[in-house]
Structure formats: structure tokens, C-alpha cells
Structure 1
């Protein structure tokens, strides 16, 4: 409440001629919280509270300027020392809510194609040396969250010698396929919770962790989501549509679709391992249980993908030994 009152006071200093009311809007997996400031004339802005002792708003400000080619919210006011920001309000209907409200496949496809169009605009604008590299060191650090937090903490099963051999063998195959992909701007959390349903183009949120890296990463984030899941033939159709649109836009995607889809799937394995580890860490380190029940979805993604490729069989063997070969239900953990 102390931070919220300080945020209210700061906003009032930026808008001294209007009374305002703060309404809670959202909270991120990290330490940021968002409020909707409703003014006496009915207008609104989104207020971000990012405690400066926990994180800095400077990366957000930098990437917001870099991503002007897509529909990111305007920054209206900010204070780096306080960790406060006033942003354009892009509404209160995230893609996830719209997709859950209307389950018709044609509606889902239309919304996701709009998101894909926005992703291609972002990727077309990519330039080297504007963002930190999404390189092998980062990729390895991320996937190692899986043994550190999911295996050791969530399951209570630290990696044994045989499992380490499986892991090392699969990692040596996985990472080169990802590393050799063309590099573009990577939002890193291009998911339906971070896209807003707005007039015209989708609004794009939560981009402050962007890097310069593999071209398939954001497509995987969009189509292999944590909170909503589609049939594999539906996903395949959208991957084909992205590939066709990307080629027409001159993006450096693999010219052979079978090879491109393999790159998409390998990138998915990296992301699924990372996210399962992050969701376990959020629970065991940060006492946040909101994401924990979705871990089984990523284990299902992992099992389906790794059993399709001979080179990834060591990962498949590891997952089966940890949680078995049956589909897991989301909504609970282990």
C-alpha cells in the first residue's frame, strides 16, 4: 500500500488539474504491478510500479523506443529513480481473454494471424547491435533452469549421472540448430497474455527483456502458449502461414519448410525447458503459485516434440523417466 500511495502521489503531480482513482490492472511474474488511473473526466492511463531496488525501468524505455514500428503503448511520463511510469492505455481485453471468450477456430485463427503480421513487422525492422545477443550462453543458462528448479526443487530429483549423459547428448544437438538460425529482434514473451485486442493492430506489451536472436523464438512463444493450447494441425497451419508471409516479406527464414519446422520445434524444446524451470522457480523461490499448475502443459509439449526426432531421444528418455509417458493434466503440479 505504501508503494501504491506513492504512485498515486506521483501521478497527481504529473496531472495536477485532475482527481484520479487507481484501480489494480495486472501483475507480472517479476516485481512489476500495473494500475489503471481513472481521471475525473473519464480518461485513463496505465501506471507501472517497478520497485527500483528490484529492477530498473530503463530497459523498458530503451526497447519501447526501438519497437516503435509495432503498436506499443506510448510513454507519457516516467521517473527512473522512483520506478514509476505512466503509459498509454491500450484497453482491458488481452488476446487470452478474447480467445477464451470465443472458442471458434476461425476466430482464433484470425486473431493469431493478426499477431503474426505484427511479429513480421517487428522482425523486418531488426538491426544488429541494438539489443543484447540471444547467444549460446543465454540459451544454455535458460535451459539449465529445468534441472536446477524443476527437477531438483519441484520433483526433488537432482540430475543423476545417467540423466546428465542424456542431457549433455541432447544439448549438443539442440543448441547448434538454434544458433544457426537467422537473427532478428526477439520480444521473448510474445504470448497471448501480452497482446491486447485494440482497434486495428494488436497492442504489444511486456517487451523490456527483448534480445537479438533466433527468428523462430517468438513464433514458438505465440503458438505453444502456457495458458491456452491448440491442436497440432492448427499450429502447423499457422506455422506454414507465418513461413509464407515471412518469405514474402523478405525475412531470412529457411527456404525449405520441413527444415524451418524442425527449427521451430527445436526452438520450442529450448523454450519449454526454460519455462518449466521458471514456473518452478517462481513457486519455490518467490512464493508465486499462479504459474505452477501450467508446468504439465510444457512437459506435454516436450514429450510430443522430443519423441519425433531421433536426435532428441535423450531428452525424451529423461522426460519419460521423470514424469512418465502419459499426457499430464494442467491445473495441478507434482
Structure 2
């Protein structure tokens, strides 16, 4: 059910944005159309001018998003060697930013247009891997906040707090709480011990743009300094598209080879690196399942809820492969069983 107050506020914001844009582009008529919305409170509009040129306008209500916008601007400068949006104008008091337009073809959209062309998918993902390596090569300590134990633990706890408690309407019993604690105690040290680089934190095909130049990179405002496998997991074990494990394994090998050639701090033994990749994936999948449940039960956003089963499938496949993660696998079996669950959209 639509909330009239929310709708009225939304329209007021759009009108306010339109007025401000008229001041930025006097005597240049434009049409303002909705372009996209994030899981948080940000929305994006496309302004199309009479000559066909376009810009993207970010609407980020300052009472909710000011810190996020400041982070966006700071990290945009830090990541400026990548193909990230250029800031053309900004009004931080009102929460508006004008950016150059990287187009409307997400990697996800391009892949969905050709769902069975795995060669095309692979080519796009290899371009994304090249961009990721370029990002990681620029990493410097003490520039971004650490992706530390406290942060990793808070993220995995979204799983019991939101997926288990709200989506399943359950609470851990004593045995399940023990399994959870044993599993997390085995999981997090493997992630924390990895070499650290800049981590985008949502390096997924919905945040990568197909442009005439190189891959465009969006939604980087939450970047941290953390485990070298994190963004690779985000890319290859995605929320909205899924590939066979053999396909993913091949791309992990390709990344590892490119990373070694670039002198990034990856281990000489691929099996060690792949174990890092898998353990980091478990942390991220637990987090995302919790976030998607929270988006529905707290925020009323149901767009992401149908994808939760994909992450449960990822979790079971990975945790049953490693003895250290057996407690998490046992817990998952008690909570959701061992049958592969259907998701909203798969390939």
C-alpha cells in the first residue's frame, strides 16, 4: 500500500530538484525522468536537454544521507582513476548532485538480454576483473576505514537478527546458538588474515555499467580497506544472476593469474586463494540474506526478498565443503533444510 505522506514528500523533493537544476542550467530546457533507486534513500533522475545531452541527478535527502553523500564525494576522488561519475554540480545542503551520464546499460541488463551467451558474460566479467585489479593496485593503508572484526561480526549478525528472527520467525535454541558461535569463530579469522586492499563492498553487475569506454563503476560510497577476495566474491556470486560453479571457478583462476601478474598480495597456491574466496563468500552471503530480509520487514521493500534463497543455496554448497564450517552447515540444515531453493531469477 502506498503511503500518501511518502509520495507527497517524494514529489516535493523532485520539484525542489527541478528548480535547482534550472538554476544550474539557465536557458537550457530539460526533461527530468526517473532513472533508478538504491536500497537506501537515494534516487537518481536523468535530465535530457533539447540537444539530446543528458546528466544524472542524485537525490539524497540530507537528513538521512548526508554522511553517505560526503563519503561518496571523498571516495569518488580516491577512485577517480577508474571510470566513475564526474561531479558536475552539487548542493550538499539540499542533498543534490549532478553527475555525468554513464548510460543506462548495467552489466546485469546486458547479460539478461543474452542469458545463454556465456562467452559474452565471461568477456564482461573479465573487463570487470581488470577494473577490480586496477582499483586494488591503487590501495594504500590508513586511507579508508578498516573492514575489521567488529564490522564483519556486525554484518553476519544480520542473519540471526533479521533472516532467522523475522523471515523465519524463529530464535536460536541453545544448540543452534552454539553451532552459530563455533562457525563464526572459524569463519572470520580466515577473512581477517587476508591481505588488505580497497574494497568497493558492492562490486556487483548491477553497479557496473557498459559504456563506450571501459566499465563504469557506481555505488562505491561504502568502500573500506579489507580482504582481497571480498569484491571478487561480490562479482561472481551475485544476488541477481547466477552461474555454474565451474564457470565461476574458471573466472576466479583468471583473477588470481592477473592479480599475481600485477604483484597483488595473493598466495602462490591457488587452493589457498580459493579457500579465502569461499570463506569470504560465506560472510557476505550471511550478511546479504539478513539485509534483504531487513529491507522487507523493516522498510517494506520487497524487490530483494525473492533473491534470499540464492544466498541460502550459496551458503549450503560452500559450508558443506569445509570441515571448519560444518557447524554453519548443520545450522542451515535445521533452519531451511537441504533442498535447493528456487530464486527470483537465475540463468
**TM band (smaller chain):** over 0.9
> What's the TM-score, normalizing by structure 1?
0.98
Aligned to 2:89, the other structure's residue is in SS state: strand
Per-residue deviation, residues 178-206 of structure 1 (Å, max 9, x unmatched): 00000000000000000000013100000
How far 1:331 sits from its partner (Å)?
Answer: 2.8
Query: C-alpha distance in 2, partners of 1:241/1:206?
Result: 25
Match of 2:24 in 1: 14
Is 1:207 aligned to residue 220 of structure 2?
yes
Match of 1:50 in 2: 60
Query: C-alpha distance in 1, partners of 2:267/2:163?
Result: 33
Match of 2:113 in 1: 101
How far 1:105 sits from its partner (Å)?
Answer: 1.1
Per-residue deviation, residues 222-255 of structure 1 (Å, max 9, x unmatched): 0000000000000000000000000000100122
How far 1:150 sits from its partner (Å)?
Answer: 0.1
After alignment, is 294-303 or 48-57 more displaced?
A: 48-57
Match of 2:311 in 1: 298
Query: C-alpha distance in 1, partners of 2:212/2:175?
Result: 54
1:26 to 29, 36, 40: 36
Query: C-alpha distance in 1, partners of 2:280/2:27?
Result: 51
Per-residue deviation, residues 262-314 of structure 1 (Å, max 9, x unmatched): 00000000000000000000000000000000000000000000000011000
Is 1:321 aligned to residue 340 of structure 2?
no
Match of 1:145 in 2: 158
Query: C-alpha distance in 2, partners of 1:203/1:142?
Result: 27
2:261 to 248, 263, 273: 248
Superposition map of 1:50-199 within 5 A? 50-56=60-66, 57-102=69-114, 103-199=116-212
Match of 2:4 in 1: none
Match of 1:37 in 2: 47
Aligned to 1:54, the other structure's residue is in SS state: helix
Query: C-alpha distance in 2, partners of 1:285/1:193?
Result: 23
Provide the aligned C-alpha RMSD in A.
0.8
Per-residue deviation, residues 27-63 of structure 1 (Å, max 9, x unmatched): 0000000000111221100000000111111110000
Q: Which runs of 5+ in 1 are unaligned?
A: none
Q: Across the two proteins, how many residue pairs are aligned to each other?
A: 332
Query: C-alpha distance in 2, partners of 1:129/1:21?
Result: 43
Query: C-alpha distance in 1, partners of 2:232/2:78?
Result: 20
How far 1:17 sits from its partner (Å)?
Answer: 2.2
Match of 1:283 in 2: 296
How far 1:84 sits from its partner (Å)?
Answer: 0.3
Match of 2:284 in 1: 271
Match of 2:324 in 1: 311
Query: C-alpha distance in 1, partners of 2:338/2:234?
Result: 24
How far 1:159 sits from its partner (Å)?
Answer: 1.5
How far 1:20 sits from its partner (Å)?
Answer: 1.1
Match of 2:6 in 1: none
Q: Which runs of 5+ in 2 are unaligned?
A: 1-10
